[in-house]
Amino acid sequence: MRQLTYAEAIREAIRNEMKRDPRVFILGEDVGKFGGCFGVTQGLVDEFGEELVRDTPISEEAIAGVAVGAAATGMRPIAEIMFMDFVTVAMDQLVNQAAKMRYMFGGKISLPMVIRLPEGGGLQAAAQHSQCLEAWLTHVPGIKVVYPSTPKDALGLLISSIRDDNPVAFIEHKLLYNLKGEVPDENEPIPLGVADVKRPGSDVTIVATGLMVHKALNAAKELAKESIEAEIVDPRTLFPLDKETIFSSVKKTHRVVIVTEEVKRGGWGGELAALIAEEIFDYLDAQIVRIGSLNVPIPFTTLLENYVIPNEIDIINGVKSIL
């Protein structure tokens, strides 16, 4: 095993696939000499050249459109949208083109493209640079949505995403980029649609995504001091979703708390809650608890931002409310 940061693991996955497949290339704002806004693509332009590591104008519409066209004609683009907030500008290309073309052409083409989407608060980047918009993408048939929480998962899931023949939205929480963790010596793919139990437990299931996985793990340590053992399940891919692993955990603990950083109203967490209620309601001994950001734009000031985004205390209180 080796130690890599989350950002280094993403870079290693990109490098691995660019060496393996000449059809893979990168495009986005400042991904070349600058190395990306968060340094993820640092050094790749020196290794692979400007033909395969392409700086673009500040136009998310163009970045996504080029990626769709390149994928439809045989390439495997990795497009970076600097902040997920601005996927809004590229929604026509993603929702009406990338997600639909393979279906509308009767399967005669594939759309092997990855769109990298740094998201989340915690950097005092304010309302237009801090949103978590994964629910918008999971709502659209034809797009796979991946959200790793560790360097190991980032490496393996990005390899699988690049090799997939369908559009993949690859979400990266900005506060995870400097997180260090163990990564296998061999760059092996992790299949999409397979959840991971990050911590075993018997009293309550906490399903968490992205940065919230780590907050849930911290909360679980505190709960354990009171003899409350929480099982932490990380879906890793929001679609396709590994319902079996999540359901198996809920059937064991009979209680579930869903923790996401997205705004709670209309979030992906609500979809998961509905699935649990529809399919395994009889196994529940208490109501489903959802924890998400408050229904307000993300504030700039640290104090207010910390108030809006879920924290360990929110998770602990959510668990205790159903025990």
Number of CB atoms found within 10 A of residue 89's CB = 16
Q: Residue 96 gets which letter from DSSP?
A: I
The pLDDT score that the predictor gives to residue 35 is 96
Mean pLDDT over 207-222 rounds to: 98
The pLDDT score that the predictor gives to residue 64 is 98
Confidence band of 166 (pLDDT split at 50, 70, 90): very high
For the segment 15-27, what is each residue's pLDDT rounded down to a tens digit? 999 999 999 999 9
Helix axes 268-280, 243-253, angle to 10 degrees: 60
Residue of 83, 82, 84, 87 whose CA lies nearest to 98? 87
Percent of the chain predicted with pLDDT > 70:
100
Active site residue 129: yes
- Give the Cα separation of 159 and 80 in Å (integer): 15
- Give the Cα separation of 111 and 97 in Å (integer): 10
When the pLDDT of each residue in the chain is averaged and rounded to a whole number, the result is: 97
Mean pLDDT over 132-161 rounds to: 98
Helix H or strand E segment including 69 = helix 60-72
Tokens of residue 156, six digits: 């393996």
Burial class (CB in 10 A: 0-12, 13-18, 19+), 106: exposed
Tokens of residue 159, six digits: 């390899």
Confidence band of 66 (pLDDT split at 50, 70, 90): very high
Tell me whether the CATH fold assigned to 2-183 matches the one assigned to 196-321. Answer: yes
pTM: 0.97
- Give the Cα separation of 43 and 178 in Å (integer): 17
The domain limits of the chain are 2-183, 196-321
The pLDDT score that the predictor gives to residue 186 is 94
Question: What share of residues in the chain are helix, strand, coil (percent, to 5)?
Answer: 40, 20, 40
The pLDDT score that the predictor gives to residue 43 is 97
- Name the fold adopted by 196-321: Rossmann fold (3.40.50)
Q: Which of these is catalytic: 129, 139, 173, 254? A: 129
Confidence band of 154 (pLDDT split at 50, 70, 90): very high
Tokens of residue 33, six digits: 């000499």
Number of CB atoms found within 10 A of residue 225's CB = 7
Tokens of residue 304, six digits: 């207010």
SS3 238: strand
Mean pLDDT over 273-280 rounds to: 98
The pLDDT score that the predictor gives to residue 249 is 98
Number of CB atoms found within 10 A of residue 189's CB = 18
Confidence band of 45 (pLDDT split at 50, 70, 90): very high
Q: Which residues contact 19 (CB under 8 A, 6 or more apart)?
A: none
The pLDDT score that the predictor gives to residue 196 is 98
| CATH class of the domain at 2-183 | alpha beta
